[in-house]
Amino acid sequence: MRAVRPDVAEDAVQRLQPLAGLQGIEVERAPRPVSVYALALADWAPPEFTLELEVSKGTYVRAIADDLGQALGVGALTPNVAALSFGTTASIATTATRTDGGYVLRGQKTWISNGGLAEYYVVFATVEPGSRSRGITAFVVEKGDPGVTFGEPMRKMGQRAIVNAEMFLEDAELPEDRRLGDEGQGFYGLMRTFDRSRITLGASATGIARAAFEYALEYARTREQFGKPIAEHQAVAFRLADMATRVDAARLLVHRAARRIDAGESVPKEAAMAKLFASETAMWCTWAAVQTLGGWGYSREYPVEKWMRDAKLEEIEEGTSDIQRLIISRRLLS
């Protein structure tokens, strides 16, 4: 396996990897588009380090890290943010056919965050169709590579500030040095990436839940019905108590997973627990906020209905809640 250049690794690890660990917990305090920017960076880094990529001049990781200040300064998702193309499962259908000096990629990816905007993509394809995880290999694909095209932005229920699009690979020729690690190691790198990205998503989901709770709390303190603030009615007060408890529990689960991964531990179960509980907490707390605001919660005059739509994706992306329960149960019973 090729080694990482020490100067590139030291600089990039310090600047990008903390986004996926404990320091990345601050993502929950950021607006959702900003947290997704951080998630894209956190997702990009682990496959490169896990699979020990060495690219000429170390340009990929360094280019993304160097653009952090400018990109966040203009408050936009810029073309220099990297995206990941996971595919679906171990049965990835996108193929990578060996050629003299490289590979030809053929297939289609969907739900690519920043699809068509990002300059660089980590694409997972199989070099041995039918072999499931054994043939999965990771590649760096650039937006301008011949044979790489993108569909129109997808129309979604929520999180519309994030551009998602399909990616088409039609005889896309890549040189061999675009491969990350050895052939067949992509699935390993992908699973390690999920351990980090699920923690970051847990932080993001906790942020949505926290925003909904704080908004509902303030509204309940000032909105009066039957001669007193609705927060003084037990049904509303108990709902607020449940919201506060769930938000704190979600945060603690995310903190635990982040601490352990920062310490170098293997955390698939802890990451799944954090993502599962935080995402379902986001969905429940946004529902509770809509319920607390009543008719106004259903109106676009207030933000809670948007947060409710945004929260739904948290239960789906990076593995649904069912998948998280599967991971947890298998770890418990192994």
Cα 305–chain centre separation: 22
Cα 167–chain centre separation: 18
Alpha-carbon gap, residue 246 to 262, rounded angstroms: 24
Annotated catalytic residue, options 28, 119, 270, 318: 318
Phi, psi of 118 (to 5 degrees): -65, 150
Cα 283–chain centre separation: 17
Residue type, 254: V
176 is catalytic: no
Q: Which residues of 2-24 are buried (b: 16+ CB within 10 A; e: fewer)?
A: eebbeebbebbbebbbbbbbbeb
Alpha-carbon gap, residue 228 to 313, rounded angstroms: 36
Alpha-carbon gap, residue 268 to 196, rounded angstroms: 9
Among the listed residues 272, 221, 211, the one whose alpha carbon sits nearest the alpha carbon of residue 243: 211
Q: Which residues are catalytic?
A: 318
